[in-house]
Each structure stands twice: as C-alpha cells, then as structure tokens.
Amino acid sequence: MSARRVVGLETEFGISVLGNPTANAMTSSSQVVNAYATLHSRQRRPRWDFEEENPLRDARGFDLSREAADPTLLTDEDVGLANVVLTNGARLYVDHAHPEYSSPEVTDPRAAVVWDKAGELIAAEAGELASATHSQQIVLYKNNTDGKGASYGYHENYLMSRDTPFTRIVAQLTPFFVSRPVVSGAGRVGIGQDSRRHGYQISQRADFFEVEVGLETTLKRPIINTRDEPHADADRYRRLHVIVGDANLSEISTYLKVGTTSIVLAMIEDDWLGDPPTLRDPVDALHDVSHDPSLHTAVELVDGGTITALQLQTYYHDQAQAYLADRFGDDTDPMSVLQDRDNDPTEDELISWIEDLTDTEQAELVALFWLGRGDGDASDFQELVEQARGARVGKTSKYLLGEPLLPDYLEEALEALDVDTSEVLSNLR
C-alpha cells in the first residue's frame, strides 16, 4: 500500500458581513448555502441521510452518552439547517455557524487537491450569489481563526484498516502531526488563541489544541481525534478524522499534507515504524513548533533528549524512503508514489476505449453523465446529446475520468432510460 487510500477533506469557511459586525453568522451562512443550492438545483436533488451517523462512538472502545456530550458533537441530527449534496459528490452545508464544504471521497493526493480547490470556487460563487440576493457584501475566508479567540476547522479523513491497533496509531502518528506544520502550516499573525501576543507563527490551528487524545472537535481539541464513524464496513475499516491540520490555499501544501500523511498511515498499518521518537508533552511541543518560524526550537523527548520539528520530519522522511524501497524497489522515487494515477494500466485502457469512440458516441457518453447527475430527465437525452456535441470539454476521457462519481451517474442514467444495467454488465464480461 502506498499513498492510495480513500480520503476526504472538509473546510469550514470563516464568514463576515462587511459593515455589519453584529450580523448573525448562522443566518449569513444559510444564505450562502441556499443561494448556491437555488441556482444549481437539480430535478432530483439528493438529500443527506443521517441514519448511519454515530458521532459519539469513540475509537478507544466506548460510546459517549448523549447527555454527557457537548451539543456541537451531535452531528447526527437533522436540525433543518441549509444542507445540499452537490453534483460532484461533495456536500455544502451549515455547520456551527459556518458554511462548510465537504469534498467527495477520492483515492489519491492529487485528486484531493483538485476537489479541495473546487470547493474554494464553489464557496466564492456562493458568497457572491448570497451578496447579490440579500444586497449586502458577504465575505468568506479560508482560514482557521478570526484572531479574537474563535477557531473553525479544516478536517482530513483517511480510511484505515480496522486491524491496526488504535494505540499504535496514537503513538506513531502524534510526533508526525506535531512536526507537520513545518511542511503544511498556513501561517498566522498573533500568538495565543486570542492573538494577545504579537508575532508570526507557522500554524493557524496549533494554539487551539489542548489535549493529546479525545473525541471533541470544538473544545478541548485533541491532536489525535477518536471519533469512530467509518462511513464504511465498520468490521474492516476505521475513518481517521484529523482535525489538527490548517486550511491551506497553497495546492503544494495540501498535496504534501495529504500525500505524506497517507504514506505514514501505510507505514503504521504495516507496523514498519517500530518506536518513533516519543514527545514528553505533545501539546506544548505543538505550540512551541508553531511559534518558531526559524525551525530551531528543540522539544523534549521522554528519554530526556531533544529534537526539532525538522529533525522529526526528517525521521519520517527517511523511514518512508526505506519503506518504499522495501515495498517497491530501491529505485522508487518517493514523489512517484504520491502520483498514484500515473502508469495505471486499467485507467490507460479506459482512456483508450473512450478516445476510440466516434464523436457521436463520445457525445452520447457525456450526455449520459449529465443525465445521471441530474441535468435533465430521460425525455431530455437527445437534447443533452446535442449540447454535448457543441460543448468544449477538451478530451472526453480527461473530462469524464476527473469525476469520482462517474460510474454511479452512468448507472443512474441507464436506469432512467430503462436500460437493464445487468444486461450491459454481462455483455462487457
């Protein structure tokens, strides 16, 4: 296993109304989401199913009672806030008085970057639409704090094997997360949660973390979050819900953040790392690392020694090189492991098949994709084919294979056209 695994990213956007500092953030956020949903509504808009959500299940082996839980943890309740599933498989909704974009699930770091950037464009358009609709200037920010004590999240989600002991995840991942800001920190002016001290630091989020391990996400934030809600076969998988990262505008930082974390998780699953350096106080170390842009600060280890964040990242880098050489050969380029889609024979064969279709067949395939995602109903199919003929989508294969939900959309389209999909599949075998 390399960097390839199911990944999804979530961004809570900061929000303000220019000239109106007392504006209700929840109302403004709802206006943003509803404005986008209204313009881009489909005839068959899917709704979010809360039935399988269990936000109080803890990876340490217990369920937190609803009575003891902070209300912000009860994300399995449909409280009627704006909430829309988008045609790209993402979700745009209101969460804790912020507009939030939750990307579609992908299987490699580059795709994670692509759909994260798509979320930025969607948020920008949604803010403009809401501003025009309500005659006020609503501004969205991709950051993690208002500089006055409030913080809002950027969460990463990684599918992991259930067979991996959670204690191993905590021990081997904590030093990586504490030092990761030197690669993927977004930068921040101000020291402390309320920016009371002047200065520049590496991470937007670091000052808001108070414990090493825990279930919370909005208070007593932990470096390792224990939420055990896999959205998959719970007997085989867990979803590692990472809340310690920054919201990056740099595509390179996001790419490295997701890619390197995926490789570290692969090493943890394969029990490759053994005993990495153990920090005496990971929370203090996270703060100290973020507060020193020079990268010279050394943090204490349990064995009495010290280590810098750069040295910690170098340790994981060296381990990854040895791991990849062991798994894929001595001449493996670490960056090629992140570029997971390269030299995929199955994908190459599919690209070749699509490009060998006639112009009419390619237009029909694009029309099926549009029909499946909700751009019309069965009676509109021929009109969609004509639109596809004139559309400037570039290479058809690149356009279609960039959509993670393409198989689902094609199946929905065929069913809408009363085509027996089982017969189609049997003919392909």
- Cα–Cα distances (Å) from 58 to 55, 175, 363, in that order, read 8, 22, 48
Two tokens, residue 276: 């990495």
Q: Where is 183: in which H helix or E strand? A: helix 181-184
Around Cβ 161, how many Cβ atoms within 10 Å? 15
The whole-angstrom separation of Cα 28 and Cα 22 is 11
The values of phi and psi at residue 151, to 5°, are -135, 145
**DSSP secondary structure letter of residue 73:** G
Dihedral sign, CA of 402, 118, 49, 215?
A: positive
365: alpha, beta or left? (left if phi > 0; alpha if psi -120 to 50): alpha
Two tokens, residue 101: 């974009």
Q: Is 221 helix (H, G, I), strand (E, B) or coil?
A: strand
The values of phi and psi at residue 408, to 5°, are -65, -45
The whole-angstrom separation of Cα 428 and Cα 421 is 11
The whole-angstrom separation of Cα 43 and Cα 379 is 13
Sequence-distant (6+) residues with CB within 8 A of 183 are 253, 256, 257, 260, 313
Q: Where is 413: in which H helix or E strand? A: helix 406-416
Q: Which is it for strands 221-225 and 209-214: parallel, antiparallel or unpaired?
A: parallel
**Using H for helix, E for strand and C for coil, what is the string for 274-292?**
CCCCCECCHHHHHHHHHCC
CB-based contact 247:145 (threshold 8 Å): no
Sequence-distant (6+) residues with CB within 8 A of 337 are 2, 3, 259, 263, 324, 328
Catalytic residue among 58, 63, 95, 420: 95
Cα 29 from chain centroid?
20
CB-based contact 297:152 (threshold 8 Å): no
Is residue 95 part of the annotated active site? The answer reads yes
CB-based contact 214:171 (threshold 8 Å): no
Active-site residue set: 95
